[in-house]
Structure 1
């Protein structure tokens, strides 16, 4: 997605809450792939909502990066508008780990369809509740059809050309 939206990017800044292990894991995984693709990765963390503006702006995440990645992070989600205020001013594109954050501050995401995920989860629950499967014996399942989405409003403000394979987010 970074190559699709910011093909000349050399520096990736990742922005996440250090108190959320899920965010650290996602960021570490993205960093591995980004480094293999030749991107210099710098991690910017905040510990709570009070640090978001400072880390995004004053610690230079927006000005020291060509693009920022934000994983599925609850704290970042609750502060997405604050992040957006800094990012838009700096003309900084943000790739996000999910649709909710993307809708407020990102240009694109590879998101799950929460309705489809709910159906898949429901089918698993039926197998457990009817005794056909035991939880301990069920393999972990993943959503198989992620959606490549973009935020038309932010892409337009940043002058980003959107690849044809992406679907416009509609709020």
Structure 2
């Protein structure tokens, strides 16, 4: 793990917290292992910081599910959310999370990998839950990932089974020869998905090539190359791609290159089909975990990372019709 980085960041955050205590309006001090709540907690108002990496349909749904669940369980008058969006910038995630630590919030939600990493770097004590995270081992730089961090970090993963996603592509495009995988190189979890799904595509007989863009400025050019050189594109759960589906859709439509997406939001924006989770349900599950930590005194260091309860085959009818793709009966149409 990046322990040196975390130690230095923690020392800086501690100084910030000390300086800010006089004007602090957050909750009571949190520790990694929270004791079971007392009767006095009946009047407590919980202060929750939410750092969302970027605004797009999937992450928005996860945040809403999280807030709705905690509001329902705690009561609207017993929980306050400080919800901030980093607009896709990792440095802004760090600024937001340091503010949460200075305010001594009861719990931090990191929605998106960079948001989780910023929260983890900012504090070793305040409980941190991640959501919309593909692989926690990659996000936390833990080579031996067992499903439990052993630290003040847990949460939910948005990873749908990659082997089943490869099977879906094969089902819809059995005659394709070349598969292009399009993702943002700045997102470690996107590379993880690309590396993991590639052998599944190759074992199905496809030739696979990856196409990565550094940021939003490169999306159009890289997508055009990928579309021109591929029979079908695959886009994993990638926040930068999700924020630029309009650009990708225009490029793919012009090149007549269909796209299989790793999640419903990207599929709705530029794809033909997806094996997707419900990000709202993912947020709900994360909210349940937060309640367990805050109210029931659950020890976050031993909480296993959870997955979404369901995966569903979905398709975009208008694009499938345009490409002449016949969709099996077990697919659900995405509302357009």
TM-score by length of 1: 0.93
Is the counterpart of residue 66 in structure 1 residue 231 in structure 2? yes
Aligned counterpart for 1:28 among listed residues 195, 207, 212: 195
- The alignment of Structure 1 onto Structure 2 pairs a total of residues equal to 169
SS at match of 2:308: coil
Matches of 1:163 and 1:89 in 2, distance apart?
26
- Specify the alignment match of 1:42 in structure 2: 209
Is the counterpart of residue 76 in structure 1 residue 241 in structure 2? yes
Q: Deviations over 1:29-77 (max 9, x none)?
A: 11121112221110011111121111121x3x11221110011111111
- Specify the alignment match of 1:164 in structure 2: 329
Conserved in 2, the CA contact under 8 Å of 1:56 and 1:83? yes
Conserved in 2, the CA contact under 8 Å of 1:16 and 1:45? yes
- Specify the alignment match of 1:18 in structure 2: 185
Larger displacement relative to structure 2 (97-106 or 30-39): 30-39
Q: 1:149, CA displacement in angstroms?
A: 0.8
Q: 1:107, CA displacement in angstroms?
A: 0.4
Q: Note the aligned Cα RMSD (angstroms).
A: 1.3
Q: For structure 1, which runs of at least 5 residues remain unmatched after alignment?
A: none
SS at match of 1:116: helix
Q: 1:111, CA displacement in angstroms?
A: 1.2
- Specify the alignment match of 1:55 in structure 2: 222
Matches of 2:308 and 2:243 in 1, distance apart?
24
SS at match of 1:19: coil
Matches of 1:37 and 1:5 in 2, distance apart?
13
Conserved in 2, the CA contact under 8 Å of 1:2 and 1:9? no
Conserved in 2, the CA contact under 8 Å of 1:127 and 1:133? yes
- Specify the alignment match of 2:265 in structure 1: 100
Structure 1 ranges of 4+ moved more than 4 A: none
TM-score by length of 2: 0.48
Distance 1:115 1:77, change over 3 A: closer
Aligned counterpart for 2:300 among listed residues 96, 111, 135: 135
Is the counterpart of residue 2 in structure 1 residue 144 in structure 2? no
- Specify the alignment match of 2:250 in structure 1: 85
Conserved in 1, the CA contact under 8 Å of 2:183 and 2:236? yes
Matches of 1:48 and 1:123 in 2, distance apart?
34
Q: Deviations over 1:145-166 (max 9, x none)?
A: 1121101111111111111111
- Specify the alignment match of 1:119 in structure 2: 284
